[in-house]
Amino acid sequence: MKVLSQTSKYGIRALLYIVSNPSTGEYVSIGEITKELNLSFHFLTKIFRELTNKGILYSYRGPSGGIALAKPSDQIMLIDIVLALEGEDYFDNCLLGFPGCGVEKPCPVHNFWKGIKEDIKSHLCNTSLAQLGEKILAEEVRLFD
C-alpha cells in the first residue's frame, strides 16, 4: 500500500525530526538529520531543495548553515508538504480510476473512496508539524526504529 512516495515519507520524517529536536542554532544541518534518521544525505538534500524552492524551508550555506522552517511549525500542515512533493494533482486520480473518472463518471468504488479521500485530505489539512512534534516529544510515537 503505497500512499506516499519515498520522497514524501522521507521529507515529512525529516521535518518532524527538526520540530521534535529543539536545536541550538538557527539552522539544522542536513547531515545531522540524515545521520539520525539513517537516510541518504544526497537524497534528502534534493528533497529539501524542493521544499526550499516551494517556500516551505529556508536554507543557508556554509559552516553552521543548514535548513530551517520558513514558518512556525504550527502553521505548516502535512498537506503543504504532500502537495509540494507529490504534486498538486495528488488527489485527482485514485483507486480504480479510468481516464476521465471522477464525480461525473464515477468508477465502481467512487462513493466509498470519496469518503476515505475526504478523511485523508481533512486530516492532512488539519495536522501541523507542531502537533506531531509534540506527540514525538511525549514519546507517544516515533520517527525511527
Partner DNA sequence: CATATTTAAGAGTATTAATTCTTAATTAAC
Partner DNA sequence: GTTAATTAAGAATTAATACTCTTAAATATG
Per CB under 8 A, the segment of 21-29, 49-57, 61-69, 92-100 that binds a copy of itself is 92-100
The partner in contact with residue 102, picked from DNA, ligand SF4, a copy of itself, none with C-beta cut-offs of 5 to 8 angstroms by kind, is ligand SF4
Find residue 69's DSSP bridge partners. 57
Q: Which residues bind DNA (CB under 7 A)?
A: 2, 5-7, 10, 27-31, 40, 42-43, 45-46, 48-49, 52-53, 59-67
CA 29 to each of CA 44, 92, 96: distance values in angstroms, whole numbers, following the listed order: 11, 35, 42
What are the cell numbers at 7? 520522497
Name the amino acid, one letter, at 80.
Answer: D
DSSP 34-48: HHHHT--HHHHHHHH
User: Can you tell me which of 4, 37, 83, 95 binds ligand SF4, judged by CB under 6 A?
Assistant: 95
Please choose, from the candidates 8, 1, 2, the residue with its C-alpha nearest in 3D space to the C-alpha of residue 83: 8
Binding pattern for the stretch 64-93 against ligand SF4, x by CB under 6 A and - elsewhere: -----------------------------x
Q: Are the CB atoms for 30 and 45 separated by under 8 Å?
A: yes
User: Can you tell me which of 101, 124, 130, 136 binds ligand SF4, judged by CB under 6 A?
Assistant: 101
The partner in contact with residue 70, picked from a copy of itself, DNA, ligand SF4, none with C-beta cut-offs of 5 to 8 angstroms by kind, is none
